[in-house]
Amino acid sequence: MSITVVFFLSLLISFIGVLPPGMLNMSAAKISLKEGHNRGFMFSIGVCLVVCVQTLVATIFAKYLSEHPDVTHILRRVALVIFMLISIYFFIKARKNTTTPEIDDTVQSKQSRFFQGIFLSALNIFPIPFQAYMVTTLVSFNWLTLDHTSIGAYIAGAAMGTSIALYIYILFFDNLKNTKLVTTKNMNYAIGTITLVVAMVTLINVIRS
């Protein structure tokens, strides 16, 4: 399979994986609305950098993770705790916005948003088992070979698909910025709700397994 096809397969897989509302894309939209596109893009770059590392790890350990579901089970438990804490954080932050005046924090540097993107993306460990499963599936269909060139193309596609999905969220919420729906309080409630739903789904999966 040519590296071009591998690239676009990975792009599509990552785009679909990131497109549903989640902590990262909603955070990118929120930062862009409050501080401008440049800082939203810097956040997205940080996210994509970690996605590259996570995809590399998933590609390398795809076979191992598929043969050791207990490792995936542990990752789910860790993710459950992380997303519960994040959800609580955003709900508290949204509640504070209803009782105290909003403080303008646009003085945040682009570098701080870049590292925030790295940090939040690193907390989101779901891409590792997801990409490991997809890599294993593609290999089983002979659509992907685990050589250096193909792995590089797959990682590049994952980063591009993630960045496109984040950019769509930035543009979409930019078009809604003058509506009452898009406020700091509502964005915090939205992120908190999303992470809570993800935590609940993870809890169900942990209990079932």
Number of domains making up the chain: 1
Q: For residue 143, report the phi and psi dihedrals to the nearest 5 degrees.
A: -95, -10
Per-residue pLDDT 10s for the chain (209 aa) are 688 999 999 999 899 888 777 778 888 888 888 888 889 899 999 999 999 999 998 888 876 766 666 766 776 677 677 768 777 876 776 677 554 444 344 445 667 889 999 998 888 877 887 888 788 878 877 888 888 899 999 999 999 999 999 998 888 877 766 665 556 666 666 667 776 776 787 778 777 76
Say which amino acid occupies 160: M
Parent domain of 127 = 3-208
For position 101, what pLDDT does the model report?
A: 42
d(CA 21, CA 113): 20
For the full predicted model, state whether its pTM sits above 0.75: no
Are 186 and 177 within 8 A, CB to CB?
no
